[in-house]
Amino acid sequence: MANILITSGPTRQYLDPVRYLTNASSGRMGQALAEAALEAGHDVTVVTGPVSIDYPAAATVIAVDTTDEMLNAVLELFPACDGLIGAAAPCDYMPHRISTEKLAKDGQPLELELIETADIVATAAATKKKHQWVVGFALETEDRRFRAIVKMQRKCCDMMVSNGPAAINSLTNDVEILASDGTTLAHVTGSKQVVAAAILKATQLLIRTKS
Amino acid sequence: MANILITSGPTRQYLDPVRYLTNASSGRMGQALAEAALEAGHDVTVVTGPVSIDYPAAATVIAVDTTDEMLNAVLELFPACDGLIGAAAPCDYMPHRISTEKLAKDGQPLELELIETADIVATAAATKKKHQWVVGFALETEDRRFRAIVKMQRKCCDMMVSNGPAAINSLTNDVEILASDGTTLAHVTGSKQVVAAAILKATQLLIRTKS
């Protein structure tokens, strides 16, 4: 039995009190992973951005809004866990300046400087990883496999799930599960439940090796 | 009995296939207005952005994603309606350039030029308004009342509902209902159902005058 930390859903990065940047992540992949992990007898903590789905009652759920909030929750929880599955789609750009008042329109273009938010999986792996295993997700529209392998190395992940934008807010997914040496462990197409079962099956090897 | 068109919920404006600008509008104000209007015996059509609430089964519901899609639906439906209640919070800025591929992070700031989207209520009122009445919403953090009156005139509305950012994704609201001459018809605080009933009561006067 392992203590598994799962990030799930989108995060938001505000321009002002009303407008924000985000993506359509539904949290369904994280939900399916939590269900599969609980079913396999593991303890599950989910750190989730704003979603309209429900997580299993047996999981501990921490709700956050922004990428920084998700990062802080993960950094706090990760050391006491055996592994992390980064299924969230955190908003990865934030406005350099956030307005405390709603920006009033004046008919002119609004020049916005966006800077990258902290990479949650990479930061947790680089700063807090000891015995833990880390499974990352890569969502790309081009060169999916190549970019997923580059991301796996950069983020110090032990396994990577590569998928495309069709995964977002969908009931199904089409993923390639990549081992740390870049080989393909599985190519799975189906409901997010089916995909979650395959990811958890591949993760069991990491659990056995690292626990 | 009137044929009432209600816009509801947020819209999204994409930077690339994954990331978009939006706001946390839940559609609950539009939902409460649809319920109140149906209860008063009116016919209701709702044009809604992506929300996780349900609209009353007796309403005709048109689902859209972006501000342009909402505008096109409203311009098509408005001429056959007796009035429009613009309860949606359309995303009012859009990137000048939309990337067809997911923007890859390179560690550098991303300079984004945002331009204003079309104003749905103002465009419908300016180009298609004949016998119809139009009720607008203004959401402001500063100078709420003054800005709402300016918006009412600019958008050719017959009535304006002024509220603040606390309204967003909340079960309650605190609004001022303003007549076209700038006088306050009502100041209502309570559940969105209570606020919807007050807005519909004020709207009845427009329905009687204009129908």
Q: Does B210 score more than 80 pLDDT?
A: no
Could you read off the pLDDT of A68-84 as tens digits, one per residue?
A: 999 999 999 999 999 99
A102 part of a folded domain: no
B100 part of a folded domain: no
C-beta atoms of A18 and B168 within 8 A: yes
User: Residue B130 phi/psi, 5° resolution?
Assistant: -120, -90
Question: What confidence score (pLDDT) does residue B211 get?
Answer: 59
Taking CA–CA distances from B93, the nearest residue in chain A reads A110
Confidence label for A165 from pLDDT (cuts 50, 70 and 90)? confident
Q: What is the mean pLDDT of residues B129-145?
A: 92
C-beta atoms of B139 and A165 within 8 A: no
DSSP per-residue letters across A87-98:
--B---EEESS-
Q: Is A21 on the interface with B (CB under 8 A)?
A: yes
A42 part of a folded domain: yes
Q: Does B32 score more than 90 pLDDT?
A: yes
Confidence label for A102 from pLDDT (cuts 50, 70 and 90)? confident
B170 touches B160 (CB < 8 A)? no
B104 part of a folded domain: no
Could you read off the pLDDT of A23-36 as tens digits, one per residue?
A: 999 999 999 999 99
Partner residue opposite A109 with nearest CB, options B16, B114, B168: B114
Classify residue A165 by burial, with Cβ atoms within 10 Å: 0-12, 13-18, 19+.
Answer: middle
Partner residue opposite B109 with nearest CB, options A18, A105, A115: A115
Q: What is the mean pLDDT of residues B121-136?
A: 95
Provide the H-helix boundaries in chain B: 28-39, 67-77, 120-128, 144-154, 192-210
A108 part of a folded domain: no
Q: Does A167 score more than 90 pLDDT?
A: no
Q: Is A52 on the interface with B (CB under 8 A)?
A: yes
Could you read off the pLDDT of B65-107 as tens digits, one per residue?
A: 999 999 999 999 999 999 999 999 999 999 999 999 888 888 8
Confidence label for B164 from pLDDT (cuts 50, 70 and 90)? confident
Helix, strand, coil percentages (3-state) for chain A, rounded to 5, are 30, 30, 35
Q: Does B31 score more than 80 pLDDT?
A: yes
Q: How far is A63 from chain B (nearest CA, A)?
A: 16
C-beta atoms of B17 and A141 within 8 A: yes
Selected residue of A52, A54, A112 to mutate for chain B interface (largest B Cβ count, 10 A): A112
B107 part of a folded domain: no
Question: What confidence score (pLDDT) does residue B156 get?
Answer: 94
Could you read off the pLDDT of B165-176 as tens digits, one per residue?
A: 888 888 999 999
Residues of B in contact with A50 (CB under 8 A): 24
The structural domain count of chain A equals 1
A103 part of a folded domain: no
Domain containing A205 — which CATH number? 3.40.50.10300
Q: Does B10 score more than 90 pLDDT?
A: yes
C-beta atoms of B112 and A112 within 8 A: yes
Q: How far is A204 from chain B (nearest CA, A)?
A: 31
How many other CB atoms are found less than 10 A from the CB of residue B91? 23
Q: How far is A149 from chain B (nearest CA, A)?
A: 15
Q: Is A56 on the interface with B (CB under 8 A)?
A: no
Question: What confidence score (pLDDT) does residue B33 get?
Answer: 98
* Residue B167 domain boundaries: 3-94+114-203
How many other CB atoms are found less than 10 A from the CB of residue B131? 10
The residue among B44 and B143 whose pLDDT is bigger is B44
Question: What confidence score (pLDDT) does residue A129 get?
Answer: 93
Confidence label for B140 from pLDDT (cuts 50, 70 and 90)? confident
Q: What is the mean pLDDT of residues B176-194?
A: 95
Q: Is B23 on the interface with A (CB under 8 A)?
A: yes
Q: Is A115 on the interface with B (CB under 8 A)?
A: yes
Share of chain A above pLDDT 90, in %: 87
Taking CA–CA distances from B18, the nearest residue in chain A reads A23
A34 part of a folded domain: yes
C-beta atoms of B141 and A21 within 8 A: no
Q: Which range (A77-86, B38-47, B98-107, B191-200) has the least confidence?
A: B98-107
Share of chain A above pLDDT 70, in %: 100
Taking CA–CA distances from B17, the nearest residue in chain A reads A165
User: Residue A88 phi/psi, 5° resolution?
Assistant: -70, 160
Q: What is the mean pLDDT of residues B108-115?
A: 94
Could you read off the pLDDT of A2-20 as tens digits, one per residue?
A: 999 999 999 999 999 999 9
C-beta atoms of A110 and B114 within 8 A: yes
Measured over the CA atoms of residue A22, residue A16, residue A51 and residue B90, the dihedral's sign is negative
Active site residue A173: no
